[in-house]
Amino acid sequence: MKHIIEGFEYMPLTYYYLELLVSPGPRKEKYKSNPAMRELGEDAGGILTLPRASFFWIADGTSEESVLYDFSSRIFAQDLGLCYQKVALNEYKNKDIKLNLNIIIKKTFVEIENLWKERLKKRWDKLNESQQDQFINNLIHCGDNTRRRSWSSTFLGGFINYETMELMYFNAGDCGGFFNNLNDEMTLIIPNRKRIFIVIDCYPEDQYPICTLIRASDIEEKIGNEKNVKNFAFITDGNTNRSLNKLLYTLLEQNSIQSISYLLKRLRQKTYDDRAILFGSSLDY
């Protein structure tokens, strides 16, 4: 519906109230006997609010993976978000093109792989010969004198367009969520098992280790596009001791997304895992 103020006709914009909750959980028993696995805070998230759209992301690094210098699943999850926001901002500034999440995600993957390659080279160059041997020994022996260490993370990133109330999101891994439209019809966002991996390999013929990002190539199949979104929420798997899928179906029985928000914020930390929750609600002006 068009509005008229002092003789000027305009289309009202819809803005969104966004809220991000991130909480590190207590460590599981197995971490007590292995200091290399005691890193907290592998769940991460972020919000980038701009005049025409808001970008958001949540990530969940794998808890069981160890730390090697400045390489870990916690850092990998954070780097995914930072690279996503950097690419998203650059794409947003180009007003001659329509925002394309498929392109943003592809560029994000290129950005983080280059970031880790540069970090690996800087680390390697600082080590003396003895320290370089120790670095290689910290990689897992995979046969044929090849060594590898890998880290993984879920990643859910997207944006909400204020002008169209259109929600675009990319989901790789066991994050999930839900949204409802202007007719209060609610839909689930189902988790999947397509986590993102980054690896450091050392081959006998190489002078130093190499870094590679491993991901599924079907990015477009993991992108959702929903219009007229009134409320939405995304959550990591640390929010329940049951499977996230079962939790979502249980919460879907509630009559309003406000009651779901209330329940999610007050879930007991039974899984001894980190958790992240991101909410968005429309505000009309």
pLDDT on residue 17:
86
Cα 6 from Cα 55, distance rounded (Å): 33
CB atoms within 10 A of CB 121: 14
| E strand or H helix that includes residue 44 | strand 43-49
Provide the whole-model pTM. Answer: 0.84
The CATH number of 16-284 is 3.60.40.10
Note down pLDDT in tens along the chain; length 285 residues: 443 434 444 444 678 889 898 877 665 555 555 655 556 678 899 999 998 899 999 999 887 788 888 899 999 999 999 999 999 999 999 876 789 999 999 999 999 999 999 999 999 999 999 999 999 989 988 877 789 999 999 999 999 988 888 999 999 988 888 888 888 788 888 888 788 999 999 988 778 899 999 876 677 778 888 888 888 889 887 555 556 666 666 666 665 666 666 666 666 666 667 788 898 888 764
Question: Domain limits of the chain?
Answer: 16-284
Q: Which of 3, 102, 93 is nearest to 52 (CA)?
A: 93
Yes or no: say if 29 and 42 are a contact pair by the CB < 8 Å rule.
Answer: no
